[in-house]
Chains A and B, each alone.
Chain A
Amino acid sequence: MKIKVISRSTEEFTRERSQDLQRVFRNYDPILRPQEKAVEYVRALNAVKLDKIFARPFIGAMDGHVDAISCMAKNPSQLKEVFSGSMDGDIRLWDIAARRTVCQFPGHQGAVRGLTASTDGRILVSCGTDSTVRLWNVPVASFGDSDGSIKTTIEPASVYVWKNAFCAVDHQWDGEHFATGGAQVDIWNHNRSQPVNSFVWGSDTVISVRFNPGEPNLLASSASDRSINLYDLRMDTPVRKMIMMTKTNSIAWNPMEPINFTVANEDGYCYSYDSRKLGEAKCVHKDHVSAVMDIDYSPTGREFVTGSYDRTVRIFPYNGGHSREIYHTKRMQRVFCVKFSGDGSYVISGSDDTNLRLWKAKASEQLGVVLPREKKKHDYHEAIKKRYRHLPEVNRIARHRHLPRPIYKASSLLRVIADAKKKKEERRKAHSAPGSVTTKPLRKRRIIREVE
């Protein structure tokens, strides 16, 4: 006869140290917990509500500029350093952690329109409407002077004067080239006073230029003729042009997917494109009610932040049609530039009201050191929220946002307009011969043509 005996080794249930957690033995049989699903639903609901309660995205404003902030650049090697340039020619280096100016870079005569820093964070490149490109040596931050509030001014390392005003500049990742956009796209080297290469296609002003961080030889630009251009540094010529119905204000490449980029358009939408198939947008991100002025990808490549002329900052998922988050304050005016921080957990916006603003990328995230058990709890909450997000109550609470009245009104108006258009289209379709009226899908609607 076989006798079954319950046997447990003492190691299983004794603690090694008195501080250790007592092990809990559970029977995971679902029959024993028939209410578990309901419990989890309620937990999800509570988690969503807690998110609302803890949503305090605004960390602080950084003031110091005396004119609207036109451009920003983050230091790729230093997490807490951000450069900002304003319309009066002032460039500042900010310490985000302390929220103060570290030093200033005076010199530009007109507005600063473009800022970028080399990958090692040593050289800052700025350009502006005074037709100059200036290179600056960035002071190295040390622990000693981090507490003192000594503002220093720095002389430009070199000034290159060129024939036309500049609108944008961007530095190659891990290289020594940078590109400026003005009358044409010029490729510069750090130590040459003249561009090493320039790409011309058409005669319109280039508004923005952005290098592909994953594929450093590729760059994209947008021009005031509503076009988006692709360039390859290895070729002599521009590569491809695509014309949309409205101007593109800014471009951002996905740092984790070098084939994809997203453009911020004047019509309030953002369009994600595959650089190989420009005839159709991969995704249309709509929520802004006015022109989108700037866009920047999170370094994780899973979301991007946009700043709009409607005085809001929004965060979109890279593959979602609507924004995940909207940030606004009473005092924030037109947002001209936005940046994600290097670790993807903060967002910085620069606006017309001369302030830089620091936001959390996740509004309800807990800052500071998070204990492992806390982290586990947060993860669990995220998981159940994700799981039950389809249920109406959870969805409603998660999506609910208080909007400034003008934006709320504008968005409802836009919705009405869109509905009316759709209705009209449907009627037109219904009352004409089948196949004679076709609707262009939204992804293609705003594209005029692709030029070879």
Chain B
Amino acid sequence: MAEEKRKERGDANRHTAKKKSKKTSDNQRKKTGPRLPSSLKKEIQHLNPTPVDVDDIDSDVYEYEEEQPEEESRKNKRYDPVSVNDDNDLSSDFEDENVQSDDDDGGYDFIGKKRKEIDSDDDYGEEDDERHERMLQRITGMPSKPFDGNKKARKNDVIPELYPESENNPSHDVVEGDGRISIEDLLNPLRDDPDHSRLRLRNQQIENRSRTVHAPLPKADQAKVERKVAYQISKEQVTKWQPLIQKNREAPTKYFDEKTDLGFSTIGAIASEFEPRTEFERKMAALVHHDKIIEAHKNDGASLLDMNKVSIVCEKDRQNRNAKLRSLLFRHEMKAKHVKKIKSKTYHRLLKKHRLKAESSQLEMDPEATNEYALKQERQRAEERMTLRHKHKSPWLQRKMQRGLDKQDEGTRAAVTEHFQRHEELTRKRNTMDSSSSDDSTYEDDDDENAADSDPGKANNILRKAKQKTLEVLEEDDGMPKSGLLSLPFMRRGLEKRKEATIEEVNLTVQEYEDSMKKLDDSGGSEDPKVASTGGRRVFGMAKAQTIGADNKVELDKFYNNSDSEDDFEAKKSGNIENDGSDNLQKDVINDSVLNQENIDSRKESVFKNFDEIVKNPGPKTTYEVSIFASDTWKKAKNKNGIDTDIKKSSKFTRSVRHNVKNSEKDQLGEDSDTDDEGQMVDGILTSASKPSYELPSQEELIRQAFAGDDVEDDFEKDKQEILNEENPEPEKPLLLPGWGQWTDIQQKKGLPSWMVKEHENARIKREEALKKRKDAQLKNVIISEKSSKKAEKLQTKTVPFPYTSKDVFHQSMRMPIGPESNPSTTFGPLTRPEVVKKPGVIIKPIEFEEVNPHVKPEQQSVKNKKLNITKGNDSEAIKKSKLKVKGNK
């Protein structure tokens, strides 16, 4: 079909010729109709410069008087398939081509039709045909087209002579015999016509232009041509999808879940299908579907109220009851609010007390409540015993203990104590119940320990060990810190001094040890067990000679305090003890026991010495001694009383004794040690006190002093140079191997070969350029490493990823985060909307065709298509921008 159409188009130029020939035939016939006056003709020609013949218009005018239905029937002929087929044949027969048929072509049908109409005018049988045709049309409901061919044939049969020039006429040859009518024959009668010459000229032209017609193509080729055309057509048809596809592809989101009809009905629909099955349901249905109720519903439900009758009395009663209840509730509420508002603690305490009292009274009164309470208590106890929740198990407590109780603040410590107390409380019940506890056992344990300690041989051993340990500590301390704050010169000085003091002290202690060892040997096992036992209680909270620097300091501090205020001695002492308690907890047990022994031993004799020494010692020492003396006197009084059972007292007493011992030994060493002691005190801690004129150096000065030794700037320069050398290494110096490449004498004469020098020079220049290009070339105090860091590599792409054309656009697209924290929910949705939105369980049908205007932007279209306006994501927008930019650049 398509092929045929194309051929028609190709033949268009030929049709002009046909038209001419038609005109000839028209000319022949036009005499039959009435004519226009010549003036009018001219007028029309003037108006119509197109090559439409006046004659045609002529006949047109004539045609107007024709009947309407006839014309209609003719019109149908325009699309007669038969005629189109006829047209095909034309190409093969040249003669026929010239002699144009009526129903040749749509474009020229208009003339042919006219002619036909004229024919029908002439033909008396035509009217019958028309009627017949109309009848057929009415019956079948189809246009008259299918019947036309038949009719035409008949028509031609009836009046052959009238249409000698029609190629459609099959009887033409039969009628005429051999004679083929040429165009000349037809033109001859028109000789006297004014247009005749023109017609002839045209005819000649056509004859000259005619070509030979080729033989039909072989079947394979014909098929090929057909396929080609068919492909062309199907391509064209498929192309209509292009804009739609384009739109879908460009859309940021494609929705496939729009037309969803899952077949689920509404609640109303389900309810209407409900049928009562069980007895209960049937009863309910009977009530619900009662005639009266339904009727009432129909009447706006007003009569429903009538059905639901309640007596006035009842209603009033109910109202009253409700009001009462409400007012009660309100009052109660108000009271509660009022009570809650009271801020007085006493009030609340009293309230609580009252409540407890009431509870306990109830306990007393009600045996059941008592039982319950007891059970509860029992249960709590059992739980506690099982879980030990308040002992060690609590993670909080464990954590606190792990960190050390001494590091906690007051509140925490109190809480811990409370915790333990609770445990005690919970478990104590058991004791009262059992009522068979013995506090003795603990004491017994203590005694045993002390007894073991008092064994002379062991004590000796322990003393030796202690001595060793002290010496070890001394050796260990030797190392001076070489860096950090402690390496600063003034700190170093201080440290040194302190160390000296320590050494001295250590020496003292060692001597002490030795003394006591000797004494131990002397005295043997003759010791008072009572004293030993009291000494055993001194494990915690006692301050004694400690060999290590830090403790030493504390001690000195203590001494100083003592000398400062004699009167407060006792109180301060105890305070110190408390402070030291935590430290001492971690103290070595051995050390303690050793000290105990030592104290025990030394006490007896040193007590008496003290008085003499007080007299002897001058200066700051006196105050110190005084304090000791005071404690001693106090102790003595106690001793005199003969009561030494109080543990605390004894501990104080022994401590002071120990100080005594120490001092006495110092004195024995001589005056040097005393002065040393003094100096130490002044230098270490009491600087401000002893040298009030000393001023703190200013910050700058301090820094200068601190960094006196090192040149930071120089170091930095060096570092930078190193890094530069590492990243842009210096070229190697050209090396000349003697005897390689040249004889040695020539080498010596000529020196380095020129190429080597050149290469070296090039490398050097290259390096310099590279150094100049560095980011830190101009920055004096900065090093910017040009080595790419591996951590940053993870966060970078090596190239600009595919859809992006430039780096900037890519960066732009990545600039803004799309998360819900940085975008309001209105933009968060569109930003994160996926490309395809579908619903699981919904079958997606293939695409259906819809018209898409390719010139409208997809966004506008989507708005048009009742979609929620989808704002595009950053990415796609960025891409578009980049495209625009690129275009602009071009």
Taking Cβ atoms with an 8 Å cutoff, the residues of A that contact B are 26, 28, 30, 33, 36-37, 39-41, 43, 76-77, 79, 173, 213-215, 218, 230, 232, 234-240, 255-259, 275-276, 299-302, 342-345, 367, 376, 379-380, 382-384, 387, 390-393, 452
Between B228, B828, B838, the greatest number of chain A beta carbons within 10 A of the residue's beta carbon is seen for B838
Q: Are A379 and B834 in contact (CB under 8 A)?
A: yes
Contacts of B839 in A (CB 8 A): 343
Q: Are A237 and B797 in contact (CB under 8 A)?
A: no
Binding stretch for chain A, among B150-158, B552-560, B661-669, B819-827: B819-827
Binding stretch for chain A, among B240-248, B271-279, B434-442, B746-754: B240-248
Q: Are A275 and B238 in contact (CB under 8 A)?
A: yes
Contacts of B797 in A (CB 8 A): 390-392
Question: A130 to chain B: closest CB distance in Å?
Answer: 32
- If A76-B843, A214-B241, A393-B794 are given as contacts, then 15 extra A-B residue pairs at C-beta distance below 8 Å, sorted by A number, are A30-B822, A33-B817, A36-B822, A37-B814, A232-B230, A234-B234, A235-B233, A237-B223, A256-B847, A258-B241, A345-B838, A391-B794, A392-B793, A392-B797, A452-B228
User: Helix, strand, loop or mixed for chain B's interface?
Assistant: loop
Closest residue of chain A to B796 (Cβ to Cβ) is A391
Partner of A302, one of B823, B836, B848: B836
Q: Are B228 and A343 in contact (CB under 8 A)?
A: no
Interface residues on B, range: 35 or more
Q: Is B846 an interface residue (CB 8 A)?
A: yes
Partner of A214, one of B823, B836, B841, B847: B847
Q: Are B836 and A387 in contact (CB under 8 A)?
A: no
Closest residue of chain A to B823 (Cβ to Cβ) is A28
Q: Are B819 and A255 in contact (CB under 8 A)?
A: no
CA distance A37 to B256 in the complex (A): 32
Interface residues of B in 237-272 (CB under 8 A from A): 237-239, 241-242, 245, 248, 254, 256
Q: Are A28 and B822 in contact (CB under 8 A)?
A: yes
Q: Are A239 and B241 in contact (CB under 8 A)?
A: no
Q: How many A-B residue pairs have CB under 8 A?
A: 155
Q: Are A343 and B842 in contact (CB under 8 A)?
A: yes
Q: Are B793 and A256 in contact (CB under 8 A)?
A: no
Taking Cβ atoms with an 8 Å cutoff, the residues of B that contact A are 223-224, 226-228, 230-231, 233-235, 237-239, 241-242, 245, 248, 254, 256, 793-798, 801, 814, 816-824, 828-829, 831-836, 838-849, 873, 875
Question: B800 to chain A: closest CB distance in Å?
Answer: 9
CA distance A255 to B238 in the complex (A): 13
CA distance A379 to B873 in the complex (A): 13
Question: A169 to chain B: closest CB distance in Å?
Answer: 18
Q: Are A300 and B838 in contact (CB under 8 A)?
A: yes
Contacts of B230 in A (CB 8 A): 232, 235, 237, 239
User: Can you list 11 A-B pairs with a CB-CB distance of less than 8 A?
Assistant: A26-B821, A30-B822, A40-B817, A230-B234, A239-B230, A240-B227, A343-B838, A367-B840, A379-B832, A380-B832, A452-B228
CA distance A215 to B228 in the complex (A): 20
Give the 7 A-B residue pairs with the shortest CB-CB distance, closest first: A299-B844, A213-B846, A383-B832, A255-B846, A342-B843, A390-B801, A235-B230
Q: Are A379 and B819 in contact (CB under 8 A)?
A: no
Between B248, B844, B875, the greatest number of chain A beta carbons within 10 A of the residue's beta carbon is seen for B844
Question: B686 to chain A: closest CB distance in Å?
Answer: 52
Partner of B844, one of A33, A300, A379: A300
Q: Are B245 and A33 in contact (CB under 8 A)?
A: no
Contacts of B814 in A (CB 8 A): 37, 387
Contacts of A255 in B (CB 8 A): 844, 846-847
CA distance A265 to B502 in the complex (A): 92
A33-B227 CB under 8 A given contacts A76-B843, A218-B234: no
Q: Are B795 and A235 in contact (CB under 8 A)?
A: no
Question: A175 to chain B: closest CB distance in Å?
Answer: 12
CA distance A344 to B245 in the complex (A): 19
CA distance A305 to B443 in the complex (A): 87
User: Helix, strand, loop or mixed for chain A's interface?
Assistant: loop
Q: Are A36 and B794 in contact (CB under 8 A)?
A: no
Closest residue of chain A to B815 (Cβ to Cβ) is A37
Question: A318 to chain B: closest CB distance in Å?
Answer: 10
CA distance A75 to B47 in the complex (A): 69
Contacts of A342 in B (CB 8 A): 843-844
A77-B234 CB under 8 A given contacts A302-B835, A382-B832, A391-B794: no
CA distance A393 to B794 in the complex (A): 6
CA distance A452 to B225 in the complex (A): 8
Closest residue of chain A to B800 (Cβ to Cβ) is A390
Q: Are B241 and A259 in contact (CB under 8 A)?
A: yes
A43-B819 CB under 8 A given contacts A28-B824, A218-B238, A391-B796: yes
Between A43, A77, A236, A379, the greatest number of chain B beta carbons within 10 A of the residue's beta carbon is seen for A379
CA distance A41 to B873 in the complex (A): 18
Question: B789 to chain A: closest CB distance in Å?
Answer: 14
Partner of B846, one of A239, A240, A256, A392: A256
Contacts of B248 in A (CB 8 A): 256-257
Question: B871 to chain A: closest CB distance in Å?
Answer: 14
CA distance A189 to B238 in the complex (A): 24
Question: A239 to chain B: closest CB distance in Å?
Answer: 5
CA distance A255 to B844 in the complex (A): 10
Contacts of A240 in B (CB 8 A): 227, 231
Q: Are A452 and B231 in contact (CB under 8 A)?
A: yes
Closest residue of chain B to A75 (Cβ to Cβ) is B843
Q: Are B224 and A452 in contact (CB under 8 A)?
A: yes
CA distance A215 to B234 in the complex (A): 10
Contacts of B228 in A (CB 8 A): 452
Closest residue of chain B to A302 (Cβ to Cβ) is B836
Q: Are B836 and A300 in contact (CB under 8 A)?
A: yes
Q: Are B840 and A343 in contact (CB under 8 A)?
A: yes
CA distance A392 to B798 in the complex (A): 9
CA distance A343 to B230 in the complex (A): 35
A237-B838 CB under 8 A given contacts A218-B234, A383-B832: no
A215-B227 CB under 8 A given contacts A36-B817, A39-B819, A382-B834: no
Question: B866 to chain A: closest CB distance in Å?
Answer: 20
CA distance A85 to B836 in the complex (A): 32
Q: Are B794 and A259 in contact (CB under 8 A)?
A: no
CA distance A208 to B836 in the complex (A): 30
Closest residue of chain B to A40 (Cβ to Cβ) is B817
Q: Are B238 and A276 in contact (CB under 8 A)?
A: yes
CA distance A234 to B231 in the complex (A): 11
CA distance A275 to B232 in the complex (A): 11
Contacts of A384 in B (CB 8 A): 818-819
Contacts of A215 in B (CB 8 A): 237-238, 241
Question: B73 to chain A: closest CB distance in Å?
Answer: 31
Question: A252 to chain B: closest CB distance in Å?
Answer: 12
CA distance A384 to B820 in the complex (A): 12
Q: Are A77 and B817 in contact (CB under 8 A)?
A: no
Partner of A258, one of B820, B831, B847, B873: B847
Contacts of A376 in B (CB 8 A): 829, 832
Q: Are B245 and A257 in contact (CB under 8 A)?
A: yes
Q: Are A392 and B843 in contact (CB under 8 A)?
A: no
Q: Are B819 and A36 in contact (CB under 8 A)?
A: yes
CA distance A37 to B874 in the complex (A): 15
Q: Are A239 and B231 in contact (CB under 8 A)?
A: yes
Q: Are A387 and B818 in contact (CB under 8 A)?
A: yes
CA distance A238 to B844 in the complex (A): 30
Question: A7 to chain B: closest CB distance in Å?
Answer: 20
Closest residue of chain A to B229 (Cβ to Cβ) is A235
Contacts of A343 in B (CB 8 A): 838-844
Partner of B841, one of A79, A259, A390: A79
CA distance A128 to B415 in the complex (A): 88
Partner of B843, one of A77, A218, A239: A77
A41-B241 CB under 8 A given contacts A76-B843, A276-B235: no
Contacts of B875 in A (CB 8 A): 387
Contacts of A40 in B (CB 8 A): 817-819
Q: Are B227 and A36 in contact (CB under 8 A)?
A: no
Q: Are A230 and B254 in contact (CB under 8 A)?
A: no
CA distance A299 to B234 in the complex (A): 24
Q: Are B254 and A300 in contact (CB under 8 A)?
A: yes
Contacts of B823 in A (CB 8 A): 28
